């Protein structure tokens, strides 16, 4: 009886983790840059006064901060020469990489740029009008000196696994 309850609960947790949405947000207007597992964890990049960037990791109710660009004072290891051994390199072929990219769904795409040159802006205006008409995103050229980008992308682990399996 206890074994069946444990197995069923592990099965439910595995299904939950496979269907859990993964959200990637890049927003230059609000300075939000994060990867989030909805309801489980969130890793966001923030600016810091002492270091260049700081990563804030939130898992359930616990918050952790660490600095990825900070030098770690590790002792130098002695280099040991290894004999010639065959290395198996796991390479992702182009087809699998494209399937992986296609598994992501763009929820919001906003691009509002000014190149600083009115001639370049005028040349990009028809390209952005074409993109606005044929895609779901919002693409704008401005002459005000504003540069903004917002990208919200979502995926699920089950879709990522499917893209690798269906090779």
Q: Residue 152 and residue 22: Cα distance in Å, rounded? A: 10
Among 5, 38, 35, smallest CA distance to 19 is for 38
Domain boundaries, the chain: 20-69, 92-167
Burial of 3 (0-12, 13-18, 19+ CB in 10 A): exposed
Q: How confident is the model at residue 42 (pLDDT cuts 50, 70, 90)?
A: very high
pLDDT digits (tens, 9 = 90+) for 68-99: 887 765 555 556 666 666 665 667 788 888 99
In this structure, the strands spanning 22-27 and 41-47 are: unpaired
């Amino acid at each position: 009886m206890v074994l069946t309850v444990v197995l069923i609960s592990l099965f439910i947790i595995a299904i939950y983790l496979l269907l859990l949405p993964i959200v990637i947000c890049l927003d230059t207007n609000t300075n939000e840059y994060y990867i989030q597992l909805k309801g489980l964890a969130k890793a966001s990049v923030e600016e810091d006064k002492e270091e260049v960037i700081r990563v804030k990791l939130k898992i359930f109710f616990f918050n952790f901060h660490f600095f990825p660009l900070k030098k770690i004072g590790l002792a130098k290891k002695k280099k040991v020469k290894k004999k010639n051994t065959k290395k198996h390199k796991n390479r992702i072929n182009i087809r699998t990489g494209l399937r992986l990219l296609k598994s992501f769904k763009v929820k919001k795409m906003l691009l509002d740029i000014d190149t600083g040159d009115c001639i370049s802006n005028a040349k990009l205006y028809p390209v952005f009008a074409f993109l606005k008409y044929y895609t779901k995103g919002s693409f704008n050229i401005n002459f005000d000196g504003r540069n903004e980008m917002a990208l919200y992308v979502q995926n699920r682990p089950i879709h990522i696994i499917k893209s690798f399996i269906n090779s």
